[in-house]
Amino acid sequence: MRADSANELARTQGRVTALDRAWQLEVERHRAQGTSASFLGPEALSWDRFARRARLADTARRCFAELERRDPETAAWVRAYVAGVNEELTSLRDSGARAGSWTDASAGDPAGRGNGSAGPGGPGGDGAGEAPAPSRGAGARAGGPAGGPGARGRGPGGTAGPGDGGPGGGASAASEFARAGLAPGRWEPWTPLAVWLATHILFAGFPAKLWREHITTHLGADAVGLFAADGPGTSGSNGWLVAGERTVTGQAVIAGDPHRFIEDPGVYQQIRLSCPEFDVVGLAVPGVPGVAHFGHTGTVAWAITNAMADYQDLYRERLRRTGAGVEALGPDGTWRRAVRHTETVEVAGEEPVEVEVIETDRGPVVIGGPEGLDDGVPPPGEPPLAVALRYPPRVTGDLGFGTLLPLLRARRVADVDRAVDLWAEPVNVVLAADTDGGTLHRVAGRVPVRHEANRTRVVPAWEPGHAWQGWHTPPRDGLTDGVAVMANQRGPAAPLGVEFAPPHRADRITALLAGRTRWSAADMPALHMDTHLASAAPLLDHLATLDAPGLTGPAAALRDRLLRWNRHMDADSADAAAFAALRTALVRRLAAHPAFAAAATPPPYPEVFRPWLALVPRVGHALEHLLTAGDLYGIDRPAAVRAALEEVAARPPAGTWGDTHRLAPWRALPPGTPYDEPGLSGDHDCVLCTSPVPGLTDLAARGPAARYVWDLARREDSRWVVPFGACGVPGSPHHRDQQPLWLAGDLAPVLTDWAQLTKETDV
């Protein structure tokens, strides 16, 4: 896209996004408001309840109001984006109404307005019911001279440029709304902030504190470290910077791949934004203006991964009802009035559900209430369970959107550095490089200073010592031998976090980069697609120590075969399939052991938190630690490995790893025509981090949501790809046209020559 001003460009970005991603935008708007159950049904109710109780939409409104006060230029730019979204959605809504595809019943503001009592006790609370959003498992519009400003274009070959949808795209988008019986609704100026917050509210993994409490209660404090696996196994983003001293051009290269839940439509949008002030290519988040995470301005480029910082706290509250509402006991020993109101959540096919929203001085209550859990009884002598969530944007009124325009205007690393000083959440590790040879490796985001106990567990709100005491200064780091690697491991962010990803991906990328003196942008896909599984070592070590004469013939043959295996999780590998089957059998045996029986039943917390509390996935992701610990609650691990080996040898997998390790993308609605999703290489500790859940499923719901290579020597030599295509409209020629490239590890060129683009649709 190109336009005559930054605001006009933002409006055009909004229009283009709504043209290509109208259905996705509507889903995200409802998730951000806690109204998705109104058309997705009961399975979305748990998220809607959480989103409303956490006051996500109200927080977004507050943050936008603060943005208007502190940074009116950025606020006007966000408004321009929203105006563009609404222009296109209004056109789609009108066309659908004329065709009789829907009524306008769902087009208004569905946020529930509170009908209960509201008090002044909460931080800034006004008692109005605000609705917020769900989580996944628990997201070139460039006209050449012929097209004129605002025309969307495609590069030669179809997959090269990010434009999509094509003629008739709007009509195809309307079919998704018709299937859901839903009309496109109106975006508010704060909606992009709500979408951002809803997308990232669980990124810091605060429900892990519930798991630590649970496992400590049943297995003791030592179990926390055993099950950490040095971090949730679901994290997998990679990024690396190779300075000019290590490249064939003498200019830096930045490459990587954000690993998130794979969604259809995709969570990243390939885009080019050009106006007299700036010209940026990058990966945008649909529903949010600008290019936040991955961008290249021609003279400077940047990329991020999740820093794995801990910046959200859970407080156990003591609540009581009074004639005036609800009160909470504070650390000074006094009871203070809490904000309280009720909201109604509409549920497709079922009766509406009433949700009580309570906010104390710590934050919104997201678990339980004055009477505790709906289906739980507190232990004798314990108060009813109520847990409040404290998260930075709710406290500060700042979601970090002040970063976005300065990033687009950046020309050097120093500009990126100043821009990300304004970043709020999620907390990221940032890499950047410019054409002057400057580099940047730092953490960006807001992490509170507070008691160590806050970082690891639920803390009592009525005890002193758990208040926030300011903010950490984001750490910085440099390069080593001209290289910086970020893969969610313990690195510069170590002082800010509790659990991090295992070091395998970071170590593997570092080792691969050390294997060559000079690198080019064209060399980077080989790193993206590396499938070596270092975390296989502990299980294979156990196999090596088994007494071979004590095994049956098939088990001994399988053992010897796996010990010869190259430890690469390739889709066409039968050995990788056999290893995965053995791992699954062992995980299930360990999880079923009587030593873990007390921890096998999760506490009756809301369903949205259950993925953090399930024992089998926890055993699967912590298998390395469980196999190497000095003692494991008396469990005979060699016997368990032997039994698992015999089990798999008796019923070996018939095919290859890719036969069961298949892509399983999240969709709000099942596709009208089911797709035969492909088999994948990789595993959760490979650089190619396509994550199964060992012991539960080989399917991969997470993986590279995009791949990118930013070349600072020539931006036009940069490359990128997404798992499906640039368009979110089923049936569009560009809905899934990049998948062959993505599967093969190939990348599409980033076109910067307007003359090479072909007009498809005017916007």
> Is a pLDDT exceeding 60 seen at residue 652?
yes
One-letter amino acid at 677 equals E
Residue-level pLDDT at 109 = 39
> Is a pLDDT exceeding 50 seen at residue 158?
no
The residue-averaged pLDDT of 512-533 equals 98
Residue-level pLDDT at 670 = 86
Query: Angle at which helices 72-99 and 191-200 pack, to 10 degrees?
Result: 90
Residue-level pLDDT at 102 = 62
Q: Cα(44)–Cα(138) distance, rounded to whole angstroms?
A: 12
Residue-level pLDDT at 379 = 65
Q: Cα(170)–Cα(269) distance, rounded to whole angstroms?
A: 18
Residue-level pLDDT at 548 = 80
Which 8-state DSSP code applies to residue 480? Answer: B
Banded model confidence at residue 147, pLDDT cuts 50, 70, 90:
very low
What residues contact 221, with CB distance under 8 A and at least 6 apart?
A: none
Polymer length in residues for the chain: 763
The residue-averaged pLDDT of 636-665 equals 97
Question: Tens of pLDDT along 580-605?
Answer: 999 999 999 999 999 999 999 999 99
Banded model confidence at residue 118, pLDDT cuts 50, 70, 90:
very low
One-letter amino acid at 580 equals A
Q: Report yes or no: 527 and 512 within 8 Å, Cβ to Cβ.
A: yes
Alpha carbon separation from 615 to 54, 120, 214, 694 (Å, rounded) = 26, 41, 11, 11
Banded model confidence at residue 142, pLDDT cuts 50, 70, 90:
very low
> Is a pLDDT exceeding 80 seen at residue 442?
yes
Query: For the chain, what is the mean pLDDT?
Result: 89
Classify residue 381 by burial, with Cβ atoms within 10 Å: 0-12, 13-18, 19+.
exposed
The residue-averaged pLDDT of 699-711 equals 97
Residue-level pLDDT at 378 = 65
> Is a pLDDT exceeding 80 seen at residue 430?
yes
Q: Cα(262)–Cα(266) distance, rounded to whole angstroms?
A: 7
Question: Tens of pLDDT along 394-424?
Answer: 999 999 999 999 999 999 999 999 999 999 9
Question: Tens of pLDDT along 28-66?
Answer: 999 999 999 999 999 999 999 999 999 999 999 999 999
Residue-level pLDDT at 221 = 92
The residue-averaged pLDDT of 513-524 equals 97
Degrees to nearest 5, angle at CA 292 with 286 and 296: 110
- Terminal Cα-to-Cα distance of the chain (whole angstroms): 10
> Which of 286-290, 417-421, 499-503 has the weakest average pLDDT?
499-503
> Is a pLDDT exceeding 80 seen at residue 230?
no
Question: Tens of pLDDT along 69-86?
Answer: 999 999 999 999 999 999
Residue-level pLDDT at 231 = 44
Residue-level pLDDT at 327 = 98
The residue-averaged pLDDT of 521-542 equals 98
Rg over CA atoms, the chain: 26
Q: Report yes or no: 610 and 231 within 8 Å, Cβ to Cβ.
A: no
> Which of 292-296, 466-470, 551-555, 669-673 has the weakest average pLDDT?
669-673
Q: Report yes or no: 542 and 637 within 8 Å, Cβ to Cβ.
A: yes
Q: Cα(578)–Cα(560) distance, rounded to whole angstroms?
A: 12
Residue-level pLDDT at 173 = 65
